Amino acid sequence: MTPENEAAARYFSAITAALSGLEVFMRDDRSPLYRHGIVAKIVAEYIARLDKSFSCWRNRLGFMDTFRISRAESGFPVFQNLLELENDRRQADARLANIPLAGELREEMADFILRHKEFPEALQKSMAERLYLEDVKSENTFGPFTLAQTAKVSVNPKTARPYYLVHWASFDGSANLPLVYMVTVEDSSEAMVRQLVDSNGKLNDKVDIPLPVDGLLNPELAHRFDDFTEKNSAYTLSPATIAVNLDKDFEPLHPKQLRRVVLGPFYSAGITDNNSTVTEVLAKVRKPENAWLLTWTIQEVYSKGERPGRKGLFSSEKTTQEFFINTDDLEAARQGVSSYENHALIPHEAYQALYAAGEAQKIFAGYKVHILSNGQVISDV
């Protein structure tokens, strides 16, 4: 194995441990997201997709010499890796047809070792490629863009409109960061109100809705909504901008809350150099698999009220939302959000190293810190 591949192997071990720990945190009843059970569940699903992608990339390393990450910034793989993963998925069946089956390869490898008394590197690469292609055929990886799903449907008793919780995800190609979006949106379309709201102003229990539903539940707007989310998921767009654009572009849709979960940056000793202080301290951690730090940010913008629409003979205005931006908090105003939370997950050994070096308080200022220890997550340290 080349030094580059050794470094990549260490990186994969660290990021896999981090994502596993993050999934534990999301399912922990002490998690701040756990009280919003469906929100934590949605985020956990995308973490599982990321984990699947890393499993594929790890297998790919068995027959490819390079794997690039954003070492100085996000600590996540560069966008090109996701594009290659998508391309390999499309070509997987054709490529697999030209590679012997796994059982045949194992027999050939055993025979090669017996006859030549050396390791069959070429056959090993073929085996790695087969495992990779079989794995990458799955639709459960984290792609450049993941289309929206409707995860929940209910009715707002005050407005008598049905509302949906819709989520989607993207991997920002400029920042090299995974982004998860969730929006709660009311729908005033006459057809949907008639179909989903009963005479008592509640969800019509006679309508069977097999959740989750691919796309926006409203079929007349679903394709446009997919186009909108794909064009409005860049990290450079603030949550408020996305919410305002959604409110403006869809007359019958009324976004009440939009959340964005930004995963990263990720720090790994000897691999990333996105924070010199963190890198220096993590390098002193005894076990390489514990020498990492994963951060994420939860951003939220919500509507504080609704400005009624106006219809006239010559002009009309749609109902619009008044989104709350917390201008008393300079950072919230800069991010374009009502509120935000910074989180950090770190193994116990790495946290001890930062604490012993006197760096923990400075590094984690403004963060909610969660420590991973023996498969459990300890928060509020």
For the chain, what is the radius of gyration of the CA atoms?
24
Are 34 and 40 within 8 A, CB to CB?
yes
One-letter amino acid for residue 309 of the chain: G
Q: What pLDDT does 64 receive?
A: 80
Distance CA(289)–CA(271), nearest Å, equals: 12
Distance of CA 329 to the CA centre of its chain: 26
Q: Taking every pair of C-alpha atoms in the chain, what is the biggest distance, in angstroms?
A: 89
Q: Measured between alpha carbons, how far is 57 from 288 in angstroms, rounded to an integer?
A: 20
Conformational region of residue 151, where left means phi above 0, alpha means psi within -120 to 50, and beta covers everything else? alpha
**In a 10 Å sphere around its CB, with 0-12 CB exposed, 13-18 middle and 19+ buried, how is residue 76 labelled?**
buried
Closest to 100 measured CA to CA, from 115, 120, 114, 116: 120
Q: Which two tokens stand for residue 335?
A: 């991010």
pLDDT of residue 376: 85
pLDDT, position 26? 85
- Spatial separation of the C-alpha atoms in residues 70 and 267, rounded to whole Å: 11
Model pLDDT, residue 381: 62
Report helix, strand or coil for 123. helix
Q: How far is CA 277 from CA 65, 175, 273, 280, 322, in A?
A: 30, 21, 9, 5, 42
Cα distance between residue 245 and residue 231, in whole Å: 11
pLDDT tens for the chain, 381 residues: list them.
455 667 788 899 999 999 999 988 887 766 666 566 788 889 999 999 999 999 999 888 888 877 889 988 999 999 999 999 999 999 999 999 999 998 999 998 998 888 888 888 888 899 989 999 998 987 789 999 999 999 999 999 999 999 999 999 999 999 999 999 999 999 999 999 999 999 999 999 999 999 999 999 999 999 999 999 999 999 999 999 999 999 999 999 999 999 999 999 999 988 888 788 888 888 888 888 899 999 999 999 999 999 887 765 555 678 899 999 999 999 999 999 999 999 999 999 999 999 999 988 999 999 999 999 888 888 766
* Main-chain phi, psi angles of 44, to 5 degrees: -60, -35
The pair phi, psi for residue 206, each rounded to 5°, is: -85, -10
Mapping DSSP to helix (H, G, I), strand (E, B) and coil, where does residue 139 land? Answer: coil
Q: What is the pTM of this model?
A: 0.93
Residue 292 · residue 14 · CB < 8 Å: yes
Which residues pair with residue 168 across a beta bridge?
181
Structural contact between residues 255 and 185, judged by C-beta atoms closer than 8 angstroms: yes
Q: For the residues of 145-188, what is the DSSP string, one character each?
A: EEEEEEEEEEEETTTTEEEEEEEEEEEETTTTEEEEEEEEEEE-
The structure tokens listed for 345 are: 């997950």
Q: How far apart are the first and last CA of the chain?
A: 40
